[in-house]
Chain A
Amino acid sequence: MHPLAAVRGVPRRTWLRWRFAYLVLLPTLILFTYLRVFPTAWAFVMSFFEWGLVKPAERFVGFDNYTTLLSDKNFTTALLNTTIFAFATTIFSVILAIALAAVLARVVRGRTGGLLELLYFAPVLVPMVPVTLGWREIFNYNHGVLNAFLGIFGITRVPWLSDPNMALVAVIILSVWKQVGYNMIILIVGMRAIPRVYEEAAAVDGASAWQRFRHVTMPLLAPVTLFVIVITTIASYNVFTQVYVLASDVQGAPGRLVPVIVYDLFQNGFRFFKMGYASAEAVYLFLIILVLTLIQFRFLRGSRA
């Protein structure tokens, strides 16, 4: 018997199982601790310091970074932009996805439905940078397809990529386009998992297609819908790539036309090397995401009860 096991009075067989478990876990846990637990913990620690690239832990500043951020115009603008972006992207992509899923899961099926599903899902799988470049051409002020298309209806050309507000709209359009297929496919799976008997019973009782959808399908689909809403919002708060590629300002500085939180964090951390300050910003972002995650957990638990 192993000496340690003898001390604890653990049978040899159990001890051997423990040892096996620990040994198998060890390499993963080392990587995991070093690459996830450490940096996450450090982000919190650093947020209370003035912290530079060459001068780490220069000065303990308590909550100063947090309070300074709240009156930092760059941060508040980024927070506002990101929040507008997150809400708009989530609302439009989820509503469109629900409509598409309702039709593709229940009405248009078979080969036609499969093909349509594929078309709507395609943007999900293409990498972000190349398609953003495609959109950059579509949004072009002078010879972009979108302005030409709007021109048919007599709408004057829109400065999609030079006006900050329109650029935000452009980023939202692109992101809804990229996200809607993912939400749709998750909702379709959710709808197919709902037993048909409920809707059939409602149909027998004389409920119209809309009534069946509104009062039978949607309530049963609520947990999946909530899941899709929360993950889209969380992903949207972390937006960066499409803004970086699409929204360059007049000088061509990538992403500066529509500053978002991750962009501002990036600037503070790696352009101005204010790493403690950037970490406080990261903690704010984390708190937003934590709240969203807790909402999801609470609702999921509620729906199971």
Chain B
Amino acid sequence: MNLRRRGMSRVGYWILVAVLALGGIAMIFPIFWLFSVSFRPASEINTVPPNLLPVHWTLNNFTVVFQRAPMLSYLWNSFVFATISTIFIVLTSSTAGYIFAKFKFPGNNAIFMLVLATAIVPFEIYMVPLFLQMNALHLVNNPIGLFLPFLVLSYGIFFMRQNTMTSVPDEILDAARIDGMSETGVMIRMVPRLLAPAVSALAILAFIQAWTAFIWPLLILNDPKYFPMELGLSQFANTGSSNFGVTSAAAVIALLPSIIAFLLLRRRIVEGITITGLQG
């Protein structure tokens, strides 16, 4: 049965599509606008009303950005930060999630409840004491101080426990054990294959989380040479000396990796976000 034909005429359907398309264009307009402004000469920035596209295209803004701010270094810092964070979160979450899901031992429930309880506490609540801890370890303005809080994710442990319970059957594990495989062997050689979709969803969540981190880098870092992309860009934009063309060019550079990643991995990213979102 076709609900569409039943409820709506052909004309009505296409009017609806047109309205949605207009809205959709409005949605990507701010991103388009950054690109458009980034290619304008200074003389075209203050035109009223603004032109949709530059009249005289120029790459000058990009040249200025590269002279004034180490954007590539910011992006590289973000990449290293996000990669390390993702590896650790995936390892700690999947091993802990597997143990919580498949092993009965004294304290299992109590420890897991503690993990679950901290999962609802947002970072902003405990960032002051966390800063003092890092300060005590002399890790302020140090990349390790930046990385540490992003090595575990309470929600990740919860998420992997759920997924282990639903997609790792006991029969397969027991069969491997009967064949003489050690517990370590079972965990390292049997489980990862079964958890692959969940791991990829978690990895995407973890990577985006670190890639877009802002308040913790702002707190813990002073030296621009350690700045990740979001912080570096905001500091550059707040110095005030640059016009909108230059700021836009910096923003475009900061956006490009995300846009490329999204175009290449679109389906997987959307899937990852829905899976991790819906099981929260």
Please list the residues of chain A having a beta carbon within 8 angstroms of any beta carbon in chain B. 16-18, 20-22, 24-25, 27-29, 31-32, 34-40, 42-43, 46, 53, 56, 100, 103-104, 106-108, 112, 115-116, 118-131, 133-138, 140, 142-145, 148, 151, 177, 181-182, 185-186, 189-190, 199-200, 203, 208-209, 224, 227, 231, 234, 238, 240-241, 244-245, 248, 252, 254, 262, 265-266, 269-270, 275, 278-279, 282-283, 285-286, 289-290, 293
| B128 proximal to A (CB < 8 A) | yes
Most buried by A among B105, B114, B135, B262: B105
The 7 closest A-B pairs by CB, nearest first: A119-B24, A209-B7, A42-B129, A130-B251, A39-B126, A148-B49, A39-B129
A36 (CB) vs chain B CBs: closest residue: B118
The answer to whether the Cβ of B47 comes within 8 Å of any Cβ in the partner chain is yes
How many pairs of A and B residues are in contact by the CB < 8 Å rule?
A: 282
Name the A residues within 8 Å of B3 (CB-CB): 106-107, 199, 203, 209
Q: A25-B111, A254-B238, A270-B219 given as contacts; is B8 within 8 A of A107 (CB)?
A: yes
* B180-214, CB < 8 A from A: 183-184, 187, 208, 211-212, 214
* Complex-state Cα separation, A120 to B20, whole angstroms: 9
Judge whether B31 and A36 touch: CB under 8 Å: no
Contact check, A18 vs B16: say whether CB atoms are below 8 A apart: no
Residues of A contacting B37 in the complex (Cβ-Cβ under 8 angstroms): 137
- Interface SS of chain B: helix
Cα(A110)–Cα(B172), bound, Å: 39
| B69 on the A face (CB < 8 A) | no
On whether the beta carbons of A17 and B24 are closer than 8 Å, the reply is no
Q: How far is the CA of A145 from the CA of B148 in the complex (A)?
A: 42
* Choice from B105, B211, B212 contacting A18 with Cβ under 8 Å: B105
Secondary structure of the A side of the interface?
Answer: helix
A234 to chain B: which residues have CB within 8 Å? 122
A293 in contact with B120 given A32-B115, A36-B154 (CB within 8 Å): yes
How far does the Cβ of A274 sit from chain B's closest Cβ, in whole Å? 10
- A287 to B132 Cα, complex, angstroms: 23
Let me know if A37 and B129 touch, CB within 8 A.
no
Q: Which chain B residues border A119 with CB–CB below 8 Å?
A: 21, 24-25, 27-28
State whether A138 and B183 are in contact (beta carbons under 8 Å apart), knowing that A122-B262, A133-B233, A265-B124 are contacts in the complex.
no
Cα(A53)–Cα(B126), bound, Å: 15
Structural contact, B125 and A143, CB atoms closer than 8 A: no
Please name all residues of chain B whose beta carbon is closer than 8 Å to the beta carbon of A186 when the two chains form the complex.
Answer: 274, 277-278
Given A107-B13, A125-B262, A266 and B121 touching (CB < 8 A)?
no
Q: How far is the CA of A185 from the CA of B6 in the complex (A)?
A: 25
Residues on A with C-beta less than 8 A from B270 are 121, 185
Specify which chain B residues have a CB less than 8 angstroms from the CB of A43 in the assembled complex. 125-126, 128-129
For A40, list chain B residues within 8 Å (CB): 118, 121, 125-126, 129
Name the B residues within 8 Å of A17 (CB-CB): 103, 105, 183
Interface centre among B1, B30, B47, B123 (most CB of A within 10 A): B30
Min CB–CB distance B65 → chain A (angstroms): 12
CA A167 to CA B154, docked complex, whole Å:
35
A278 to B28, CA, bound (A): 38
CB < 8 Å neighbour of A137 from B6, B248, B266: B248
Contact B215 A182, beta carbon cutoff 8 Å: no
Q: Which of B16, B33, B108, B151 contacts A145 (CB 8 A)?
A: B33
If A127-B254, A128-B212, A234-B122 touch, whether A108 touches B17 (CB-CB below 8 Å) is: yes
B128 touches A282 (CB 8 A): yes
B106 CB contacts on chain A under 8 angstroms: 18
- Whether A24 lies near B95 (C-beta < 8 A) is yes
Chain A residues positioned under 8 Å from B20 (CB to CB): 100, 103-104, 108, 116
Report B's interface with A, CB cutoff 8 A: 1, 3-4, 6-8, 13, 16-17, 20-21, 23-25, 27-31, 33-34, 37, 45-50, 92-93, 95-96, 98-99, 103, 105-106, 108, 111, 114-115, 118, 120-133, 135, 148-149, 151-152, 154, 157, 183-184, 187, 208, 211-212, 214-215, 218-219, 229-231, 233-234, 237-238, 240, 244, 247-248, 250-252, 254-255, 258-259, 262, 266, 269-270, 273-274, 277-278, 280
Contact check, A143 vs B50: say whether CB atoms are below 8 A apart: yes
Are the CB atoms of B251 and A134 closer together than 8 Å?
Answer: yes
Verify B4–A128 contact, CB threshold 8 A. Answer: no
Q: Contact at B132–A56, with CB atoms within 8 Å?
A: yes
Inter-subunit contact B230/A129 (CB<8 Å)? yes
- A202 CB to closest chain B CB, in angstroms? 10
Determine the distance from Cα of A181 to Cα of B34 in the docked complex, in whole angstroms. 20
Cα distance A288–B111 in the bound complex, in angstroms: 25
Chain A's nearest CB lies how many Å from the CB of B126?
A: 4
**B47, B127, B184, B208 — which one has the most chain A CB atoms within 10 A of its CB?**
B127
Q: Are A127 and B212 in contact (CB under 8 A)?
A: yes
How far is A190 from B258 in the complex, measured between Cα atoms in Å? 27
Contact A107 B4 (CB under 8 A): yes
B152 — which chain A residues lie within 8 A by C-beta? 28, 31-32, 35-36
B119 to chain A, nearest CB (A): 9
Are the CB atoms of B214 and A129 closer together than 8 Å?
yes
CA distance A63 to B183 in the complex (A): 51
Selected from A16, A103, A122, A282, the residue in CB contact (under 8 A) with B28 is A122
Min distance, Cβ B55 to any Cβ of chain A, angstroms: 15
Contact A134 B118 (CB under 8 A): no
A-B contact pairs, 26 of them (CB 8 A): A24-B96, A25-B95, A28-B92, A28-B96, A35-B151, A38-B133, A40-B125, A42-B126, A46-B128, A53-B135, A106-B4, A108-B16, A115-B24, A116-B17, A123-B28, A129-B251, A130-B254, A137-B244, A186-B274, A186-B277, A199-B3, A248-B238, A252-B238, A275-B132, A279-B129, A285-B124
